[in-house]
Amino acid sequence: MDRHRRRWGLLALGALALAGVVAAVLVVSTRGGPEQAVASDLPRAAPSAPEADVRALVAGDLALGTDMLRATGTRDAVVSPLSAGQALRMLRAGAAGETAAGIDRAMGVDLPGPRTFAAANVLGQSLAATRGVTLDQANAVWLQRGMPVERPFLDILARDFGTGARLSDFQGDPDGATREVNDWVSEQTDGAIPTLFERLGPDTRLALVNAVRFRGRWQAPFDAGLTKERPFTRADGTVTQVPTMFDARMERYAERGGVQVLALPYEGDQVEMLVLLPARGGLPALERALDEAWLRGAAGALAMRQVEIFLPRLDLEARLDLTPVLGSRGMGVAFSPGADFTPVTRAEPLQVSAAVQRAVLRMNETETEAAAATGITARVTAAPPEDPVRFRADRPFLIVMRHRPTGAVLFLGRMAGLP
């Protein structure tokens, strides 16, 4: 590998159940000193950005997330749009020229850098203020000890992401540096992601890490005594038995384009899981159609209904190489020798060499590990119908974990019955 090459790893772990975690990591390589940290003296900025800019980030994250989910194939999988987006936004702070423009295309946004960073600050602080659940987001940056770093890059990290930079010796002690990053990720995720990297090479010069952890209890838990093995029909028509929860109760429900939409809130009523259940054979079309406008329309149509709910427990996991996804979205130059990351350092040329996301999501009768965001208002416009709606998730479906005040989608998952 070229000694100037930079490594970037993006990793997300999320879980739908008792605890949820996402870690997104970005690593850059290029060239010590006793310093342990370096940071701007600027405080984190008060959250201030046009609502339209925050919505643009949320929409871009979802568009990236649906591409990521499709890249996992047709099996059970989960990705974290938010974690991927936040890692890319930190990377954007260190990019210039066509490299910066390519990252913007990958993020699906068309905003000047300062507006992107300000909106990211609003999004991050809004998530931190979420009530009723544990929803923590942390950012960390590691730099090669002794590598000159541009002050404006550190200013953006401090002002808009609330972090400085830790110094480590990737070049002289790559194993020790790898342990430092992994230990931080493990601590931030309560051990949910004990190892983010197997080994960071001696050419690593910068590692940017975004970790998101969610832990929430259902507002209305399911009765575990009613959970039993029930048939689930896969896309190919084969049938398997899966542990399926049951309840009959009032919940927000809608139908949109032949897709049943059920909202299950967590305590605090600021985070919810949307279950999107298409007709048999309709999952591929739903994955293609799902975007911010579709989701906003479906959420806006939700109304209280009496619903008979049949919903499998979830245990989803995926590891995804994001390089092809980001390249297809226009970010290819960042992976090439022509990349321009001079806003980070002018000492050595850097380029992205890897992008990976790993996600885990688990859900049971009482709790869920995941995250979500969106400003949605529930409508109660009519008395419940005499006949209850039946929501039987006995075929492939999607789940969207979202934060209602901002619209941010933290986890996007597919239940296909194919682990």
Do 321 and 242 share a domain, yes or no?
A: no
In a domain? residue 2: no
Q: Give the pLDDT confidence score for residue 201 in this predicted structure.
A: 81
User: What are the residues whose beta carbons fall under 8 Å from the beta carbon of 272, sequence distance 6 or more?
Assistant: 263, 264, 265, 266, 372, 401, 402, 404
| Residues 155, 40 share a domain | yes
One domain, residues 115 and 221: no
Q: Are residues 306 and 406 in the same domain?
A: yes
- The reply to whether 8 falls in a domain is no
pLDDT in tens, 199-216: 788 888 778 777 777 778
Question: Does 127 share its domain with 264?
Answer: no
The string of pLDDT tens digits covering residues 29-50 is 432 333 478 889 999 999 999 9
Per-residue confidence (pLDDT) for residue 51, from 0 to 100: 96
Quick one: pLDDT at residue 354? 64
CA distance 169 to 301: 53
Those residues of the chain that have pLDDT short of 50 are: 1-35, 369-386
Question: In terms of residue numbers, what domain contains 243?
Answer: 217-313+371-415
* pLDDT, tens digit, 9 for 90 and up, residues 358-401: 777 788 988 654 332 211 111 122 344 447 899 999 999 999 99
Q: What is the pLDDT of residue 212?
A: 72
327 and 389 belong to one structural domain: no
* Same domain, residue pair 282 and 198: no
Query: Could you tell me the sign of the dihedral formed by the alpha carbons of 64, 208, 203, 5, in that order?
Result: positive
Q: What is the pLDDT of residue 12?
A: 35
Q: Supply the CATH number for residue 249's domain.
A: 2.30.39.10
* pLDDT for 296: 93
Clarify whether residues 211 and 221 are in a common domain: no
pLDDT at residue 355, as a whole number: 73
Beta strands in 288-349 (DSSP E): 303-312, 314-321
pLDDT, residue 189, reads: 74
Instruction: Flag whether 10 is in a domain.
Output: no
194 falls within a domain: yes
**24 assigned to some structural domain:** yes
Number of folded domains that form the chain: 2
Statement to judge: residues 332 and 239 lie in one domain:
no
* Residue 337 pLDDT: 87
Shared-domain flag, residues 380 and 303: yes
Q: What is the CATH number of the domain that holds 151?
A: 3.30.497.10
Q: Do 81 and 17 form a contact (C-beta atoms < 8 A)? A: no
Whole-model pTM: value is 0.86
Question: How confident is the model at residue 29, as a pLDDT?
Answer: 42
Question: Do 208 and 69 reside in the same domain of the chain?
Answer: yes
The answer to whether residue 3 is domain-embedded is: no
Structural domain includes residue 115:
yes
Give domain status of residue 234, yes or no: yes
DSSP letters for 155-187? HHHHHHH---EEEE-TTT-HHHHHHHHHHHHHH
> What pLDDT score does 367 carry?
66
Q: Are both 212 and 223 inside the same structural domain?
A: no
The answer to whether 198 and 25 have CB atoms below 8 angstroms apart is no
pLDDT for the residue 280: 94
